[in-house]
Amino acid sequence: MTTTGAREEPLSISEVAERTGLSVHALRFYEREGLLIGPVRRTSGGRRRYTELDVDWLQICVKLRESGMPLADLKRFAELVRHGPGNEAERLQLLDAHRQRVDAQITALEECRSVIAWKVGVYAEHLSRGEAGGLWDPTARSNT
């Protein structure tokens, strides 16, 4: 049931794939690896039927994986959520550790971007002055 009380329409695996950006193969993998927080319901013919809650959870999983969360940590997080209330401190610890790793990656990327921007400026300046010849020339005495 949705918050409005209306019955929620089940979603097919292809509909969930479209909404989450995951492939059908990846959705099956997530289910097989225990990354979902509940069992996926099936029709009498064996076809998977997902809920909006499944889609919401999968969208979180996608962002956690895209941000580099190890599969083992995602499995642990899903396991904690499945167990319900009482383990929120452990969930917080897991998520905070991941956030710290992401923050460190962002800092490292910003440093890389700074070096790249500086180098783009050097090349742009030399090209605008018509003095680009010899940039990173191994035969020159001074390279920039």
Where helices occur in the chain by DSSP H, the ranges are 13-20, 24-32, 52-66, 71-83, 88-128
pTM (two decimals)? 0.80
Structure tokens at 24: 């059908």
State the pLDDT confidence band at 11, using cuts at 50, 70 and 90.
Answer: very high
Contact between residue 54 and residue 42 where contact means Cβ atoms under 8 Å apart = no
Q: What is the pLDDT of residues 72-125, one digit of tens each?
A: 999 999 999 999 999 999 999 999 999 999 999 999 999 999 999 999 999 999
pLDDT, residue 1, reads 44
